[in-house]
Structure 1
Amino acid sequence: MITIYHNNRCSKSREGLGIIESSGKEYRVREYLKEPLSEAEISSLLKKLEMQPVELIRKNEKLWKEQYRNKDLSANDLIKIMAENPGLIERPVVEYGEKAVVGRPSSRIDSLL
């Protein structure tokens, strides 16, 4: 089943959800701001994304700039920060089987499906 980690206030996330809906495939929506991911879930997702933790962080967010940007943080530190502050996670993330993509640009979602 397809899972989209979704923020309804984000136009790119809504666009990604539309692509999934039009695919006709079974999916579920996880509003990750309301139901945050655990550190273990983030670690698993990073493996599927084939990304380092820093690559999944929204670096233009005020919280990142003010509290974390210039610190020397380990991968585990970054995963913990994302678990505690889900708004720092890039969106949308779409997971399908053993693969996942960040849906920016949205054509990445098409390639996953």
Structure 2
Amino acid sequence: MAVEIFHNPRCSKSRQTLALLQEKGIDPDVTEYLTSPPTKERLTEILEMLHMQPRELMRKGESEYKDNNLGDPALSDDAVIKAMIDHPKLIERPIVITNGKARIGRPPESVLEIL
């Protein structure tokens, strides 16, 4: 079973989720999305797997959110996705993907639903 985690090593929830996977004997493919952001196509796939709209995956407390006026309801989904690709810090983390399903590791145990 291939498992991928969109990981930020500086985030405690991301580290906890990675440790949980490893405790379960899973050696996931780790994507440090801050240095290797997803493409538009990949982020769109992830949103579909999460059953989320782009704004729901956005970290609204980040300065990039405010600085780029991303709270503007007139922005299209494509514009929001582009903002997350341009500023990957805006993507909620961690995200675990396997078997065509995805979950956000908040709390970390929520990813166990798809394993």
TM-score range, shorter chain: over 0.9
Q: Which runs of 5+ in 2 are unaligned?
A: none
Identify the residue that residue 97 of structure 1 maps to in structure 2. 99
Give the C-alpha shift of residue 65 in structure 1. 1.7
Q: Which runs of 5+ in 1 are unaligned?
A: none
Deviates more, 1:103-112 or 1:47-56: 103-112
- Tell me the TM-score normalized by structure 2: 0.93
Give the C-alpha shift of residue 25 in structure 1. 2.5
Give the number of aligned pairs. Answer: 113
Q: Secondary structure of 1:101's match?
A: strand
1:67 corresponds to 2:68: yes
Deviates more, 1:61-70 or 1:77-86: 61-70
- Tell me the TM-score normalized by structure 1: 0.94
Identify the residue that residue 41 of structure 2 maps to in structure 1. 40
Give the C-alpha shift of residue 34 in structure 1. 1.0
What is the root-mean-square deviation in Å for CA atoms of aligned residues? 1.1
Contact 1:19 1:109 in 2 (8 A): no
Give the C-alpha shift of residue 46 in structure 1. 0.4
Give the counterpart of 1:80 among 79, 82, 96: 82
Aligned sequence identity (%) = 40
- 1:68-95 Cα distance to aligned partner (Å, 9 max, x none): 2442211111111111110100000000
Identify the residue that residue 28 of structure 1 maps to in structure 2. 29
